[in-house]
């Protein structure tokens, strides 16, 4: 059985190699090759899962050692895989949701002439992410980590002819690089402290290291997680990453990439458990991002950017839960899985809406679409109900558990974190209701006005055959796109309830992450009820603002907070002022020092030597007789000196 | 006869030679003056040999003569080729090396 683990990674990797090296002759079938190989990975995952279920909880970890990658003295880098319950959960999520997104892309990218290449990149993305979650040591995880960064760069910038897409790809890559630096420092610290970076030995021997060292490793891992999972302060790339094709957004937000940070923290649970300081910072980062993303999501008129804000916020919930320690790890992963379903569904729904609307992304130019796109409406609606935590749907179970766990942290911290999580739930209800109302309800604001302004190139090449500047004719998407949406909607509805029956998700993950039931200071029922209350309040405010009043097509000026939130709460401005300007000033002062001080010393030396030699060369007049005088003079002086010395 | 007089003569000859090297422009004359200086030295060596009663000075004089002969060979060759290229034996004309 364990020999199958490598195949999980190998199948999509083979797909990427074949599609990217195969050339044009594969254009006709390339997308199906990519989809089938992603599905192969999923099927192998199912087989391994069935095998795992047949064993006792303590014997479920499978390992496969392939070969030694870099053997240098004490430094042994192994290529080996480890499949335990945590990896298994991720494998099923990544390959399952990934396969659905592949299938959807077959329809979505139908008119793109570079579709084969797109599927090659998608397969590369899956392979890198699977490598990341299956590695049995931090160095191999780092390989997958970088692979994910590369694939996201290629996919975000897939429409590289648009300068905005090329810039967004570069931004995502550079911001991620900061996080990657954190991970590499953490791995180096691990090697100096423990002498190895394999999961087993490192996590088993955390007791031998000082708490300060563990805190340093934990904080560096957190920095890495912040980069990949778009947490404050490294969150700025996520909104711009919407420049990529919509299936890419779905893949990044649901199955791959942003979940990697949460995986890293939960995988390194023992390190965080041993360092309360690192845990505290993790919860603070999660709580801040949770509000940050939610507020940004409230102000965006671009449907994809509103969803991106929502992702940031939901990942914030997961990081918050992961920072809570054993009472939260399980729920972080549970929310990650349910979020994978409904966020992929929401993004695919948004893509379907754009597909029918000439790639218009401004929700102010939508409205009343439920009549024209019934399937999209229903699936998007179920995803919406799931994400706001409507009772009985997936998000309800997972988010409620996180809020409970936050209160159960205890003390003032518990109250603050719990309240923030609760407030986040209210804002989530608000912005998602807003998206829902602006898109599917209200007047048909797209009538009598061309979408996509003429001076901008059509956002997505898929629209070209529609005649991008005419009034849109909303229509339902083809089956190849709606089927994945329906499957994901089913997952959004039932996954949470399925996981919660008899606490089976807790029991499933307990051997890996550990689980301790946290008791909130107030009863669990009170927490659930107050979640319901804030949910109704949030959705009610959104209804009052966007459901009962007509939505203006041109965005109103809005309050100071709205304007700031439209600019992503000034995160880019902050980065610009502090990092870009700061860097420029540093460079300029260094150039000044270089010009005055360094060049001054060098040039000064040269000039003084030059001046001296200019004077000396006058002696060289070229006349043999003047040299003879010098010789006689010199000889006379020498002889005179010798005689004088002897005389003394 | 007092050997010191030979030394006076040697000094006189050396001074004449040195002055000639410094003030004459014609390469042949400069060359002859150099020979004069060498032979003045030879005279001094031989005189000293006589004064001290050993042969060291005379041996050195032979060496000097050998060096002078070699110098004549090389020096005359240079002067001849210089004259061929410049149609002048003036040492001041051979000043290509100056700036």
pLDDT digits (tens, 9 = 90+) for A160-170: 899 999 999 99
- Mean pLDDT (chain A) is 88
Looking at the complex, report in whole angstroms how far the Cα of residue B91 sits from the nearest Cα belonging to chain A. Answer: 7
B94 touching chain A per CB within 8 A: yes
Q: What is the mean pLDDT of residues B75-92?
A: 88
C-alpha–C-alpha distance, residues A331 and A320, integer Å? 10
CB A625 to CB B97 under 8 A? no
Residue A632: list chain B partners with CB under 8 A: 18, 22
Q: Check B22 against A624: CB less than 8 A apart.
A: no
pLDDT at B33 over 60: yes
Tally of CB atoms within 10 A around A326: 17
> Which residues in chain B are contacts of A635 at CB distance < 8 A?
none
What does the pLDDT read at residue B98?
Answer: 61
Helix then strand then coil, in percent of chain A rounded to 5, is 75, 5, 20
Q: What is the pLDDT of residue B97?
A: 64
Decide if pLDDT at A426 tops 70. Answer: yes
Name the closest residue on chain A to residue B34, using Cα atoms.
A628
More confident residue, A140 or A366: A140
pLDDT band, very low/low/confident/very high, at A463 (cuts 50, 70, 90): very low
Q: For residue B92, what is the nearest residue in chain A, using CA coordinates? A: A623
pLDDT at A456: 44
Chain A residues whose CB is inside 8 A of the B98 CB are: 620-623
Token couple for A222: 């957190």
Cβ atoms of B62 and B43 within 8 Å: the answer is no
Determine, for residues A617 and B92 on separate chains, whether the beta-carbon distance falls below 8 Å. no
Residue A626 vs residue A316, higher pLDDT? A316
Whether ipTM tops 0.90, in short, is: no
- The mean of the pLDDT values for chain B is 89
Which of chain B's residues have a Cβ under 8 Å away from the Cβ of A625? Answer: 21-23, 25, 91-92
Tell me which of B11, B18, B96 to substitute to probe the interface with A (most A C-beta atoms closer than 10 Å). Answer: B18
Q: What does the pLDDT read at residue A321? A: 93
pTM: 0.78
User: What is the percent of chain A with per-residue pLDDT over 70, rounded to a whole number?
Assistant: 96
Report the residue from A617, A623, A628 with minimal CB separation from B95. Answer: A623
Write down the pLDDT at residue A450.
Answer: 57
Q: For residues A486-521, b (16+ Cβ closer than 10 Å) or e, as one string?
A: bbbbebbbbbbeebbeeeebbebbbbbbebbebebe
Q: Burial of B66 by CB count in 10 Å (0-12 exposed, 13-18 middle, 19+ buried)? A: exposed
CA A628 to chain B, closest CA, distance in angstroms equals: 7
Would the CB atoms of A625 and B22 count as touching at under 8 Å?
A: yes
For residue B93, list chain A residues with Cβ-Cβ distance below 8 A: none
Record: contact B91-A623, CB cut-off 8 A? yes
Burial of A624: CB neighbours in 10 Å, binned 0-12, 13-18, 19+: middle
pLDDT at B86 over 80: yes
A135 pLDDT above the threshold of 50: yes
Residues of B in contact with A620 (CB under 8 A): 97-99
A622 → closest Cβ in B18, B22, B95: B95
Class of residue A225 by CB neighbours under 10 A (exposed 0-12, middle 13-18, buried 19+): buried
- Beta strands A75-83 and A62-72 are antiparallel
Q: Which residues of A touch B99 (CB under 8 A)?
A: 617, 620, 622
Out of A112-116, A517-521, A630-634, pick the least confident. Answer: A517-521
* pLDDT band, very low/low/confident/very high, at A469 (cuts 50, 70, 90): low
**pLDDT tens digits, residue range A474-524?**
888 888 889 999 999 998 888 888 888 878 888 888 888 888 887 878 888
**Residues of B with Cβ-Cβ distance to A629 under 8 angstroms:** 22
Interface test with B, best of A616, A623, A626 (most B CBs within 10 A): A623
Which pLDDT score is estimated for A196? 87
Position with higher pLDDT, A259 vs A625:
A259
Of A188-202, A363-377, A465-479, A562-576, minimum mean pLDDT range? A465-479
Chain A contact residues (CB < 8 Å to B): 617, 620-625, 628-629, 632
A67 sits in which H/E element? strand A62-72
Q: What is the pLDDT of residues A246-256, one digit of tens each?
A: 999 889 888 78
Percent of chain B with pLDDT over 70: 97
Q: Please name the residue of chain B whose CA is at the shortest distance from the CA of residue A622.
A: B98
Nearest Cβ partner of A628 from B21, B94, B96?
Answer: B21
CATH architecture classification, B4-86: Orthogonal Bundle (1.10)
Is residue B32 less than 8 Å (CB to CB) from chain A? Answer: no
pLDDT of residue A623: 79
Of B21, B22, B97, the CB nearest to A622: B97
Integer Cα distance of A203 and A199 in angstroms: 6
In percent, the amount of chain A with pLDDT more than 90 equals: 49
For the cut 60, the answer to whether the pLDDT of residue A458 exceeds it is no
pLDDT digits (tens, 9 = 90+) for A558-587: 787 788 878 777 777 888 888 888 889 999
* Neighbour-count burial of A640, counting CB atoms closer than 10 A to its CB (0-12 exposed, 13-18 middle, 19+ buried): exposed
Q: Which residues of B touch A628 (CB under 8 A)?
A: 21-22
């Amino acid at each position: 059985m364990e020999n199958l683990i490598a195949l999980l990674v190998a199948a999509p990797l083979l797909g990427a190699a074949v599609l990217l090296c195969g050339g044009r002759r594969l254009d006709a079938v390339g997308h199906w090759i990519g989809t089938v190989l992603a599905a192969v990975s999923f099927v192998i995952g199912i087989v391994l899962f069935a095998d795992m279920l047949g064993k006792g909880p303590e014997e479920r970890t499978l390992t496969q050692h392939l070969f030694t990658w870099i053997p240098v003295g004490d430094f042994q880098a192994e290529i080996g895989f480890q499949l335990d319950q945590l990896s298994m959960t991720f494998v099923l999520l990544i390959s399952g949701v990934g396969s659905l997104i592949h299938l959807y892309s077959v329809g979505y990218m139908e008119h793109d002439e570079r579709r084969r290449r797109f599927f090659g990149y998608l397969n590369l993305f899956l392979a890198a992410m699977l490598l990341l979650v299956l590695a049995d040591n931090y160095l191999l995880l780092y390989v997958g980590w970088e692979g994910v960064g590369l694939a996201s760069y290629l996919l975000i910038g897939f429409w590289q002819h648009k300068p905005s897409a090329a810039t967004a790809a570069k931004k995502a890559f550079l911001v991620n690089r900061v996080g990657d630096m954190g991970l590499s420092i953490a791995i180096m610290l691990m090697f100096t402290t423990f002498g190895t970076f394999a999961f087993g030995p490192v996590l088993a021997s955390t007791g031998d290291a000082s708490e300060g060292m563990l805190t340093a490793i934990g904080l560096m891992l957190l920095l890495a997680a912040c980069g990949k999972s778009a947490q404050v302060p490294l969150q700025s790339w996520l909104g711009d990453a919407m420049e990529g094709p919509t299936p890419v957004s779905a893949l990044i937000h649901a199955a791959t990439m942003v979940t990697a940070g949460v995986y890293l923290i939960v995988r390194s649970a023992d390190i965080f458990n041993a360092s309360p300081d690192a845990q505290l910072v993790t919860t603070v980062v999660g709580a801040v991002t949770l509000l940050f993303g939610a507020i940004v999501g409230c102000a965006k008129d671009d449907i994809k950017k509103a969803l991106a804000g929502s992702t940031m916020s939901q990942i914030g919930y997961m990081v918050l839960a992961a920072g809570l320690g054993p009472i939260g790890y399980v729920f972080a992963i549970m929310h990650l899985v349910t979020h994978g379903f409904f966020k992929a569904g929401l993004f695919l729904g948004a893509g379907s809406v754009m597909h029918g609307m000439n790639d218009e992304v401004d929700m102010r130019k939508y409205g009343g679409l439920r009549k024209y796109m019934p399937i999209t409406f229903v699936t998007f609606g179920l995803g919406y109900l799931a994400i706001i935590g409507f009772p009985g749907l997936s998000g309800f179970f997972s988010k409620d558990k996180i809020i409970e766990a936050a209160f159960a942290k205890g003390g003032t911290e518990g109250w603050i974190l719990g309240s923030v999580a609760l407030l986040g739930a209210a804002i989530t209800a608000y912005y998602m209701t807003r998206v829902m109302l602006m898109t599917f309800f209200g007047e048909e604001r797209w009538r009598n006005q061309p979408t996509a302004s003429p001076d901008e190139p059509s956002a997505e090449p898929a629209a070209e055959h529609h005649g991008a500047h005419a009034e849109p004719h909303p229509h339902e998407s083809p089956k190849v796109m709606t089927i994945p949406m329906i499957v994901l909607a089913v997952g959004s509805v039932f996954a949470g309830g399925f996981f919660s029956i008899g606490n089976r998700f807790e029991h499933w993950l307990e051997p890996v992450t550990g689980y301790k039931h946290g008791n909130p200071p107030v009863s669990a029922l009170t927490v659930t009820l107050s979640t319901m209350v804030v949910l109704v309040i949030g959705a009610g405010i959104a209804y009052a603002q966007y459901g009962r009043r007509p939505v203006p097509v041109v965005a109103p000026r809005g309050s100071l907070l709205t304007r700031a939130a439209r600019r992503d709460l000034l995160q880019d401005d902050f980065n610009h002022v502090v990092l870009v300007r700061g860097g420029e000033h540093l460079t300029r002062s260094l150039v000044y020092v270089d010009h005055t001080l360094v060049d001054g010393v060098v040039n000064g030396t040269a000039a003084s030597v030059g001046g001296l030699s200019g004077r000396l060369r006058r002696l060289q007049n070229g006349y043999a007789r003047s040299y003879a005088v010098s010789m006689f003079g010199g000889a006379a002086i020498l002889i005179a000196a010798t005689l004088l010395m002897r005389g003394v | 006869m007092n050997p010191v007089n030979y030394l006076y003569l040697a000094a006189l000859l050396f001074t004449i030679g040195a002055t000639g090297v410094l003030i004459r422009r014609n390469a042949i004359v400069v060359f002859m003056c150099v020979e004069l200086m060498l032979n003045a030295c030879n005279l001094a060596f031989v005189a000293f040999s006589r004064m001290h009663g050993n042969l060291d000075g005379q041996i050195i004089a032979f060496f000097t003569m050998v060096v002078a002969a070699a110098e004549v060979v090389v020096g005359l060759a240079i002067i001849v080729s210089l004259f061929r290229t410049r149609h002048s034996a003036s040492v001041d004309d051979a000043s290509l090396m100056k700036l």
